Structure formats: C-alpha cells, structure tokens
A and B are shown apart, each in its own frame.
Chain A
Amino acid sequence: MFTQQLVNGLMLGSVYALIGIGYTLVFGVLRMLNLAHAYIFTSAPFITFALIGASVSPMLALFLGVVGAAFLGVLLYLVAFKPIPPEHALGGFVASLSFGIIIQVVIVNFYGSQPKKFPTILNLPDFNLGNVILSGVQIGSLCISASLMIGLLYLIKSTRFGRNIRAIAQNQMAASLLGVAVPAAVLLVFFMSSALAGLAGLMVAMRFESIGAFMGDMYAIKALAIIIIGGLGDVRGAVFAGLLLGVCEVMFQAYAPPGWSEAFIWLFLIGVFLVRPEGIFGVGIKTREI
C-alpha cells in the first residue's frame, strides 16, 4: 500500500517536475513567468486527439502533439514575450495569461467544457506485485520522465547550450557580449519548455484516459508553487521539489485528515521561504537587501 502510494506520488511528482522545469527554464532566461504554460500543457492532448480523429496514426499523433505544443510555445514567445521589455514583468504575466485564455477558449469552443475520453493508444499491461498494481502507462511515464529529467540536468550542466542558458540566466548582457546568441537560445528554451509541458499533458491524458479544456488549471497553480519552492531558475530545484511534493501530496491525501493535503503545499511553501527565501536551489533573485 505504501509502495503503491509512493509510485503514485512519483508519477504525480514527475508530472509536476516536467511542468516545473518548463516554468523555471523560461524564468531563468526571461525573468518572467509564463502563465500560458498550463494551457500549452492542455493543448498537446487535444492536438493529438484531433489528429487521431483525422485518422492519423496514434504514435505519429502523439509525436505531433508534443511538437505542436512546442511550436505553440514559440508562437507564445513571439507574440507575448518578445515585444515586452524585461522591466515590465507584469506585462509579461498578463500577456501570457491572455494568450493562454485564448487557447482555452478555442478548445472549449471546439470540444466543449466537459472531459472527453482520450483513446487508449498504448495497450500496456498492468504489473501486479503483491497487492500493488502498477499500470503500464504509469511505469512508462515514470521511465520517460526520469530519462528526461536526467537528460535535462545533463544538458544544463555539461553541454554548451546548458552553459549558455545559465549564463543568460545570470546576466543576459554579459552573456550576449561574450558571444551567446541570446535570441536563438531563448527561442530554443521556449521550444523545449513547451515540448515538456506538452509531453506532461499527454502523459496525464494517457494515464487517466481523459482530457478536458480545464485539465491544466489544477496542475498549473501547484507547479508554480513547486518551482518556487525548488528555486526559480534551477532545473534541479524543479525536479527535486516536484518529486518531493508529488509524493507528499499523495501521502497527505492517504494518511492525513481531510483538507490538509490541499493546505500543506502552501504551508510548506511559506515555511521554506521563511527559512530560505530564494527557494531550495534558487538562483537569480536575491533576497531583500534592506
């Protein structure tokens, strides 16, 4: 039973982590929060759903769902973030939020506001280990998420591109002077972060076999909290905090009195802040100097 919860928690946590990595990467290079992220998460399963409906092969539809989300992210950057100067972070919030709302309205107008059944694409068997039932989709998602997270951490830490992103996150002007192609890097970051969000959305869709125009809302606000806890700008933070909090949420739901599972994430966040204001792995924003 505990193992079951642990696996469920890791699954939830890896979804949060993938979404959180996207937020954190964008924040690192732009110093703005992308409030359309949750809607890009939602758009991928619908793109896949639409393609399957148009008789596209399911595997190709999955791939195109992720790619579609990625390009949507690039469009978002070009329309909502690029035109806004960095000192107007609030403008970026509102612009991205509006973009996200437009995406949601489009989905609602074509598919309605109720959840729809997402077709079973991969007929993976369940694994029975004693009284623990692990769905094949769950295991597959965990494997993919794990490899992605490891891959991304490696990318950020050891590749040139990763160094570029970190350089931009630390000091954009200096990075640009030192030869980093900032605009291209930022575009690529948006592409990657949106692809991750799209992938997370598809994993959720396949796990629960359900998609809805409002499915992103519940993940969005939690993922936001999680990356703050992990520290904005740091991928390790998003991964760590995401997994930790996913597991905690499930544990609280299982063992704590009702209402606490909703409250704990906020309490934890405030607690972390009082102790370590920049978040666990935070970089980039200093604490108050006065």
Chain B
Amino acid sequence: MDILLSEPVQALVAINVLLTLSLLFPFAAGVWSLGLPGFMAVGAYLSTWLTMQMGWQVGPAIAVAGLAGAASTIPFALLTLRIRDIYLAIATLAAAELIVLFFSHFKPTGAVMGMTGMPYLEVHWLLILATGCVVASSLLYNSRFGKVLVAAGSDPMVAACHGLNMPTFQFASLAIGGLLAGMAGACFAHYYSFISPGNFGFHRTTDILMFLVVGGLTPLGAVLGAMILTTIPQVITSLEKWAPAMYGCIVLLMAVFRPAGLLPKNQLVKIFVTKKSDKNKSRRHLVSKDA
C-alpha cells in the first residue's frame, strides 16, 4: 500500500481521473469523441504560456486552460452534426492529430522540442482538483441534465421525440469533456515540468479509453477504472519485462468478462430489479441497432 502514498502515483491517478471523466461525458451522451489529446494539448500549452510568459499563478492558469479546452471543442461539435459513432471517433481523432501537429511545428511553443521550466504544482492541489471534479461530475451526471445526456446517448431518436434539442446536449457534453481535458493538460504541464507534442499522441487516447471501458460509463466507473489501471502496473513490476503483457491480459480479461465495465450505468438499478429480468438475459441479440 506504499504505492498509494507515492506522490507521483497519486498525481498520475489524479490526472488520469480527470482525463477519463473528460472522455466519459461525450461517450455517455453518445458522442464518440476522441479529441482528448487535442484539448489536453491546448490546455497544457496555454497554461504554460500564461504562467511562464504572462506571470500568472498556476491556479488561474489551470482554470483558463479548462475554458480554452472547452472552447476548442467547438469545431469538433460541428463535426457531430454530420457524423456518428466510429466515423465520428476517427474524425475527432483526426482533428486532435491536427491540433497536436500544429504544436509540433509552432515555434513559439518550442515545436517538437517542447517547453520546460513551468512553476511546480504540488500533488495535493492535483488531488483537490481531481476530487472536486469527481464530485461535480457525479452531481452533474445524476442531475436532470445528466439524465438527459444519458438518455440522448442511449437512444437519440426517442430523446428527440421527447422534445430535447440533441445538438445542444451533445455540444454541452463535448464542452464538459474539453473543460476537463484542458485542466488535465494544465495539471500535467505543471506537475511534470515538461511538455512536448509527444505527450499528446494516440497512446494517450487508447490508455484513457481503456480506463473508461474497464470502469464503465459512469463517473464512479471512470474513477475506478482510472485508479485501478493506473495502479496495477505499479504493483506488478516484479514481472520485469513481462509486466506490460500481464497488464494487457488483465485489461483483456476485464473487457471480455465485463464489457460494460465495472460500474456501468444502471448497475444499481439492476441490483434492485426483480428476477423477472433474468428471463431476458438469455436472449442474445445478433442484430445491431440499425437494420
């Protein structure tokens, strides 16, 4: 349990929690946005510029970074008007890659060589921020707004029939995601004292996606997924060069045995629903939703 006392592990968990939550909101709303690295990069670079060139304190820089992250979701939002699901996922991935590519060539932020020298952010601030976001996310998710969001994600057609303005909710979910990712990026920059385009590659997206899927599409699920999968590699180090393979096996098993995640939505509902529902369990659909 010494692991939990390790500050860098706590910091990484905190950042990963923020990132996973940032992926949660769009996905829960049915928007498969993989723009995460782009928003994170925007937050990281902007906050660094604010603290280093403009002399701001780290706190306000993080806040502004979050807002910038949210703002940069606007072009992504426009994409959602036209496309869905996997297509949207790849399109948002493309857009995020373009953002990071921009930073790779943008000399004022060091291009590929990155930026260093930011003021250091203590771990306890990271933990406070992460906890605050978890609480806020849970409240939001369980509020009317959140329920609408999830409804929109489950069945957009029905939700629209109920008079909900789909685009608004989808934009909102993206913006929340962007806010969280932007803040996470700023935290990353100021904890690790160095950022470069390489930190915002596709591997970031796949890592966070793993956390979300293993944890489940709810705030607590996201937190659980991030915590568990961030700490597992720290405790299997005795396997030396086989540790990453073990991690892969664990994630594989979790995805296969609980594809909906550890704490998927409606989990609590399931516990209270009567045995009648068991009859339905055996009906395994082969059909996907569109036919």
Cα distance A27–B251 when bound, in Å?
22
B248 x A102 contact (CB < 8 A): yes
Give Cα A83–Cα B86 distance, bound, in whole angstroms. 21
Residue of A nearest to B81 (CB): A288
B94 in contact with A269 (CB, 8 Å): yes
CA distance A284 to B101 in the complex (A): 32
- Answer yes or no: B79 CB below 8 A from chain A CBs: yes
Interface of A is mostly: helix
Q: A99-B248, A259-B101, A269-B90 are in contact. Are A173 and B255 (CB under 8 A)?
A: no
A290 contacts B101, C-beta separation under 8 Å: no
Count of chain A residues with Cβ under 8 Å from any Cβ of B? 60
Interface residues of A in 84-112 (CB under 8 A from B): 84-95, 97-99, 101-102, 105-106, 108-109
Which chain A positions have C-beta within 8 A of B260? 88, 91
Asked if B290 is at the interface (CB within 8 A of a chain A CB), the reply is yes
B287 adjacent to chain A (CB < 8 Å):
yes
Cβ B290 vs Cβ A270 within 8 A: no
Stretch of A52-60, A64-72, A221-229, A247-255 at the chain-chain interface: A221-229
Q: Are A109 and B84 CB-contacts (below 8 A) given A84-B256, A95-B252, A289-B157?
A: no
A224 proximity list for chain B (CB < 8 A) = 90
Chain B minimum-CB-distance residue to A101? B248
- The answer to the question of B214 belonging to the interface, with a C-beta cut-off of 8 Å to chain A, is yes
Chain A residues with CB below 8 A from B3, complex form: none
* 0 or 1 for each of B272-291: is its CB under 8 Å from A? (1 = yes): 00000000000011111111
Tell which of A117-125, A199-207, A272-280 binds the partner.
A272-280
Q: Which residues of B in the span 160-181 have a Cβ within 8 Å of any Cβ on A?
A: 160, 166
Among B105, B160, B213, chain A packs the most CB atoms within 10 A around the CB of: B213
Are A182 and B286 neighbours in the complex by a CB distance under 8 Å? yes
Distance in angstroms from A283 CB to nearest chain B CB is 11
Across the interface, do B213 and A91 meet the contact criterion of CB distance under 8 Å?
A: yes
How far in angstroms is the closest Cβ of chain A from B197? 11
**Partner pick for B251 among A79, A98, A108, A172, CB 8 A cutoff:** A98
Contact pick for A277, options B83, B101, B160, B166, CB 8 Å: B83
CA distance A221 to B260 in the complex (A): 25
Q: How far is the CA of A105 from the CA of B239 in the complex (A)?
A: 13
Q: Assuming the A-B contacts A270-B95, A290-B166, are A228 and B87 also in contact, with contact meaning beta carbons closer than 8 angstroms in the complex?
A: yes
- Would you call A94 and B288 a contact (CB within 8 A)? no
Are A98 and B252 in contact, CB atoms less than 8 angstroms apart? yes
Of the residues A102, A171, A221, A259, contact of B252 by C-beta under 8 Å: A102
A85 touches B87 (CB 8 A): no
Please name all residues of chain A whose beta carbon is closer than 8 Å to the beta carbon of B87 when the two chains form the complex: 228, 232, 273, 277-279, 282, 285
Determine how close the nearest CB of chain B comes to the CB of A29; give it in whole angstroms. Answer: 11
Contact A285 B98 (CB under 8 A): no
Any B CB within 8 A of the CB of A62: no
B202 on the A face (CB < 8 A): yes
Residues of chain B with a CB closer than 8 A to A101's CB: 244-245, 247-248
Contact B256 A80, beta carbon cutoff 8 Å:
yes
Which B residues are in CB contact (< 8 Å) with A128?
A: none
A143: chain B residues at CB < 8 Å are none
In the bound complex, CA of A278 to CA of B52 (Å): 44
Task: Tell me whether A97 and B82 are in contact in the complex, defined as CB-CB below 8 angstroms, given that A83-B256, A91-B259 are known contacts.
Answer: no
Least Cβ–Cβ distance between A72 and chain B, in angstroms: 14
Q: Give A90 to B94 CA distance when docked, in angstroms.
A: 19
Q: Could you write out 9 A-B pairs with CB less than 8 Å apart?
A: A84-B256, A90-B213, A94-B213, A94-B251, A95-B251, A105-B242, A224-B90, A266-B101, A290-B157
Smallest CB-CB A-B distances: 6 pairs: A91-B259, A88-B259, A266-B94, A98-B252, A95-B255, A173-B287
**Chain B interface residues toward A at CB < 8 A:** 27, 79-87, 90-91, 93-95, 97-98, 101, 104-105, 156-157, 160, 166, 202, 206, 209-210, 212-214, 241-242, 244-245, 247-249, 251-252, 255-257, 259-260, 284-291
Given pairs A270-B94, A286-B84, 17 additional interface contacts (CB within 8 A): A90-B27, A97-B206, A102-B252, A172-B286, A173-B285, A173-B287, A173-B291, A174-B291, A224-B90, A228-B86, A263-B98, A269-B90, A282-B87, A284-B290, A285-B84, A285-B290, A288-B84
